[in-house]
A and B are shown apart, each in its own frame.
Chain A
């Protein structure tokens, strides 16, 4: 649903069916709409059987990594020797992404139901839903929904708690999220050990994204074959995804599409293309941490995991950021670099120093003091920042830099040649 717009006929409405329907947020309203049937079904099944269904469906992590969800669940110990944990990643902070907040605002019980099914499948008795601190409205709505669900006793023995973040993008990284729940600085952990072996409080843990879990009740109820059948291109990418389209489009919003859907159709047919009189210049298809695509590249991209890789980027979180010809790519890339510099946790040398240095060079270019060798310097720093750190925040800072210089070099050179009015950045 291009919420706040009505669903476009070409959307595949599954997760977003009740977006905008205030009654669906209530426990009774959700039950009326068939809610919690999947959970009671799942609780009667063996945990492994639940996992098998999810595995068969082809559901992949919708937070950004795209890792097969059922497979991830199989990493948990089959024999229950210690406590198991489920963490729900509701830290949604990837620029361009705003889907999880809608799931929590409009269908909080869908998330709770998916959480409980997942907890059952991985034999977890406790689940923490980590909601970023800024999401005040989702927090209130989820709190109320949790109260009602607990009162109705739907969870069996599973305990679900909400845990509030406090302003750190990096806590969306699964190991940093665990550290944050443990009352520590949100530093990502070195792996191994992997969460399924030693995660939250050192115990076997699975971390799943909100959108991933919201799909689970549907898969249990309607079957793996149904979900697998929702596929327009590569059979390894099944199901629907909420694409958060924002920036220079006429109708921004969340659009639920079957994977494999053409990005061109999304941009023009559904979002109306660029505002009147302007043309799309660039598009980041999966949140700011993935390479930027040109208009031509975007128009040839199929929106599934493999398709976007083939186009030279990644599906990521599905946050589609659109830039039209009025956008200053150099300024926006600077702003993204600054985002990463603010959010770096400070552990790894390359990220801590590199994100800040990258930002400074970009600011200097904008101020009209850049030199041609600055572009080579930026590319070299980006290479030093890629593939060498505990987590990929460092690589994420490099992505817009490398793709930006490669595909929009002219805009950089205009600043270097003094052809553009310098921009003084604070």
Chain B
């Protein structure tokens, strides 16, 4: 214990962890996943499901790994007969009232009850002659449905609302096998972070109405991404089915969002599937916008840039990647450059039980990245400057109401019929956050990467590609060192 670590053995593998570590966490170091339900690293320990019972040498009874702290020289065994029998017992007890809903249950394929039953449960039930307990489905609020029949009373949802959201709106009601998760009739589960109970639920008892019956878990492709709902930079997973984003889930990051995302971010994905996209580059010919190919479009932009001098204004979205923002600046490096963005603000909604985690007032993911690169929030001034600028480049800001005597170049995903930027010389279709790889800098200055979850529609390309092509063509690339 010279380095302050505790040494123990788990299933024969030596493990060294800091004092105070729970056996269930120490086991991860040995590559051992101790089956469990009620335990969750983001919640206070409950010790109620009894699934994580393990054998500890010299201890008179099996102990729950989620509530046992490591001691020097401890020998833990998870695969001995008593431990496996205990787990099989728990699984059998859980299944006697659990309905055989797998064919219609959203959780199938990502269900911890299925997983452990397959891994070490029994193939048949001994509870054949009795009726299962029945309670009707309950609507808990904005996005959450509660299916009491499937509930295994792990109480993760109650502990989340009590201790992490700090709004005790869920309870355990009744006693014994009559128990269920309750909510007071006058209350709704509308806390800004309540949707996390759906992720936390190990089975299909708490369900998202938004995701209800939308897709099967095994049909989903999962891609790591960063939420674009605000500047917190929560790590997320985009679940896509047939190249459509169908769900957002949190990705654990202990430094940023721990295990959670807010409901605003959770629902903030439908726009990624918009059908009304700009699908081809457009150039103005004879006063009208005409679809063309990338070669002509890029050549037109080059022509504009080479033929102009003086002021250039870049009006950008605070949701554009840092790469794209940097490249815009580089592209316009021959001009007297002003860069600005406008940002939608909303009400902040903290997750009370986690320090430095909230739905932030700034409803965009990369304001900090933009600021680090020299863009400012002086948007109105920039609009003023743009009027007499030689070149105005708008990056993914479809609401931009700019008017200019100079050349307007628009890079974006959508452009409404009446949008001001319809007067642009060139319109270039770009990928949205789900269709490219890039970097956002969150409000704490953390650079985080997001990845491509689905292909961009039509001829759209990542903004960073478009801008690099232009930069290379114009010989503005930074020389390799």
Chain A residues in the interface with B (C-beta under 8 A): 168, 185, 190, 341-350, 352-357, 360, 364, 369, 377, 383-385, 387-390
Contact = CB atoms under 8 A, between A and B. Distances in A.
Contacts of A360: 130
A-B complex: 7 closest residue pairs judged by Cβ atoms: A384-B89, A346-B179, A353-B93, A356-B177, A344-B176, A347-B48, A190-B47
A352 to B, nearest CB: 5
B51 A344 contact: no
Contacts, number: 87
Interface centre among A168, A342, A346 (most CB of B within 10 A): A346
B176 A352 contact: yes
Nearest to A359: B177
B30 to A, nearest CB: 23
A355 B89 contact: no
Interface of B: 45-51, 53, 61-62, 64, 67, 85-86, 89-90, 92-94, 96-97, 126-127, 129-130, 152-153, 172, 174-179
Contacts of B129: 364, 369
A390 B96 contact: no
A357 to B, nearest CB: 6
Given A346-B179, A388-B53, 9 more contacts: A345-B175, A345-B176, A349-B94, A349-B152, A352-B179, A357-B96, A387-B61, A388-B89, A390-B48
Contacts of B178: 346
A390 B50 CA distance: 9
Contacts of B45: 190
Contacts of B90: 349-350, 384
Contact of B177 (A185, A341, A384): A341
Contacts of A385: 89
| Most-contacted residue by chain B among A185, A342, A352, A384 (CB, 10 A) | A352
12 contacts: A344-B176, A346-B174, A347-B153, A348-B49, A349-B48, A349-B90, A349-B153, A353-B177, A357-B127, A377-B126, A388-B53, A390-B48
Contacts of A388: 50, 53, 61-62, 86, 89
A356 B176 contact: yes
Contacts of A364: 129-130
Contacts of A352: 93, 153, 176-177, 179
A369 B62 CA distance: 35
Contact of A353 (B53, B97, B174): B97
Given A354-B93, A357-B93, A360-B130, A348 B177 contact: no
Nearest to B154: A349
Contacts of A357: 93, 96, 127, 130
A190 B49 CA distance: 12
A185 B50 contact: no
Contacts of B46: 347
B177 A355 contact: yes
Contacts of A344: 175-177
Nearest to B175: A346
B211 to A, nearest CB: 27
B50 to A, nearest CB: 5
A356 B177 CA distance: 7
